[in-house]
Structure 1
Amino acid sequence: MAAHPTVLITGASTGIGAAYAERFAHRGHDLVLVARNVARMEAFAARLREQTGVAIDIIAADLTQPTDLGVVETRLREDARIGILINNAGTAIGGSFVEQSTDDAARLLALNTTAVLRLASAIAPRLAKAGKGAIVNIGSVVGLAPEFGTAVYGATKAFVLFLSQGLSLELGPKGVYVQAVLPAATRTEIWEHAGVDVNTIPGVMEVGELADAAMVGFDRREAVTIPPLPDVEQWNAYEAARLAILPNTSQEHAAARYRTAS
């Protein structure tokens, strides 16, 4: 693998994916950009090539479609130059759970979870064998907070976090770095998909600042990066509380508090 491995980025035509593409290109990495909007990707890639001189390939793909997803999986399995996967593609839908159609929710799951899983699965064996590389999965702080009222979207992002942590434990000892990035509200087109005016939301982070912070976490090899979180000790305490529960969850008998009817 070259000193600067090629980076494959999904959802790369705009928003967080495009910001990642800019930053890796300026670091000298060749890119493979994956998204549905070919015209936008072509224009974006032309600008990046002129600015940085890196090689950029484009794959037009709708990752909710098995055939398109398969094309990207094959590229990840077979192209040994690709050493970093940015699993960024995702979407949201508006309304409450009872208002959302089952078909819309299923499409959300296909993009936000199935595609993330399949692409990570496609590249992980090759990276583990090589003993190097990275998988970055873009989650959300919503995955920590059912109180935000986005049950399906939040569940997909909880999946991304759990998958990332599990892969980090499995692949880290083999030399593969896995990072979960958990943005909060960020100024991207995802709000339009959910029918929300982003300008009505307080505390929205600009996408460039989000990407810069995520890259700092990447360079530090953080397992979980939460760009807007001021105090990392809050996350450390959250993790410590979770770990403290685990020894008490494997018991032969039900806890005493469940042995009475009242």
Structure 2
Amino acid sequence: MSDHPLTPTALITGASSGIGAVYAERLAARGHDLLLVARDRQRLEALASDLQARHGINVEVLPADLGLPVDLARVEQRLGRDGSIGVLVNNAGIALHGTLVETTPEQVDALVALNIVAVTRLASAAAAQFSATGRGTIINIASVVALAPEMFNAVYSASKAYVLSLTQTLQGELRDKGIEVQAVLPGVTRTEIFERSGLDVNQIDPQMVMEVGEMVDAALSGLDQNEQVTIPSLSDAADWQAYIKARDALGPNLSRSSPAARYK
């Protein structure tokens, strides 16, 4: 991202607090103008005013609830037609507390609309717009529960597995288009998402909880190192490579004309 001759505008979803707000701060410090998207206009405007004053960049706010089709379409259209936007931080998301059988259909629909539908639609709009200009960066915020779904509940874990899979597919589709695509897989991060879902992060072992500033700094460092998947708490990158190698070893046997001998 830092290699681009011009510093593009960054569109950040879920920008009013937590991970999104820290991305806004860090990208502003790198000289990016910002387009901040979230539901809370008051918080967005306060953040915009602060970042403009401290970093001398332009910040526009676009209040929107990405779980609503009309608001999602508005942000999608802006992303698709605004050639100044060259970075998408696909961060907006919600979590649920409790098991699948304890979750209402309305809660499931709301999570899928934000964590899956909105992420996909905005990634698609960014991919099309960035392909036309031959440059761009898409950052999709997933979670380590994409790799260890037993750590959390079914719907949230599945949504983050989808985000990881979407990102990895996009990496292949956009490989020759001049576009960087990164999946970020945070572990437990101290943000408001826990409070909003009915969980208390203070009840979690402190050794498992990362401060949000450290998480975003690690994610951006991974982006600078051209990582396609960044797990901020993973100390040895060879562990991820071993995971990919093990997955690839399954490849020749994933689809054949007859069942394996052990099933006969």
Shorter-chain TM range is over 0.9
- In the TM superposition, residue 235 of structure 1 has moved relative to its aligned partner by 0.9
1:1-262, aligned counterparts within 5 Å?
3-202=6-205, 203-259=208-264
Alignment partners' CA distance in 2, 1:163 and 1:84: 17
CA distance in 1: counterparts of 2:245 and 2:154, whole angstroms: 25
Task: Measure how far apart 1:2 and its partner are.
Answer: 6.9
Shift of 1:250: 2.1
Structure 1 counterpart of 2:212, which letter? Answer: V
| CA distance, structure 1, for counterparts of residue 239 and residue 254 of structure 2 | 23
| Structure 2 unaligned residues grouped into runs of 5+ | none
Q: Distance in 2 between matches of 1:77 and 1:232?
A: 35
Separation (CA, whole Å) in 1 of partners of 2:190 and 2:149:
21
Aligned-partner Cα distance in 2 for 1:115–1:8? 14
Q: CA deviation at 1:93?
A: 1.0
The DSSP-based 3-state class of the residue aligned with 1:229 is coil
CA deviations over 1:134-180 (Å, ceiling 9, x no partner): 10000000111122141110000000000000001110221110000
Counterpart code for 1:116: V
8 Å CA contact 1:94–1:193 kept in 2: the answer is no
In 2, Cα distance between equivalents of 1:198 and 1:190: 9
**SS state of the match for residue 98, structure 1?**
helix
2:16 partner SS: coil
| Mapped partners of 1:2, 1:35: distance in 2 | 29
Equivalences, count: 259
**Equivalent position amino acid for 2:247 in 1:** R
Task: Give distance in 2, aligned partners of 1:139 and 1:23.
Answer: 19
- What is the TM-score when the length of structure 2 is the normalising length? 0.96
CA RMSD of aligned residues (A): 1.0
* TM-score between both structures, scaled by the size of structure 1: 0.97
Rounded Cα–Cα distance in structure 2 between residues aligned with 1:46 and 1:249: 53
- Percent of matched pairs sharing the same residue: 54
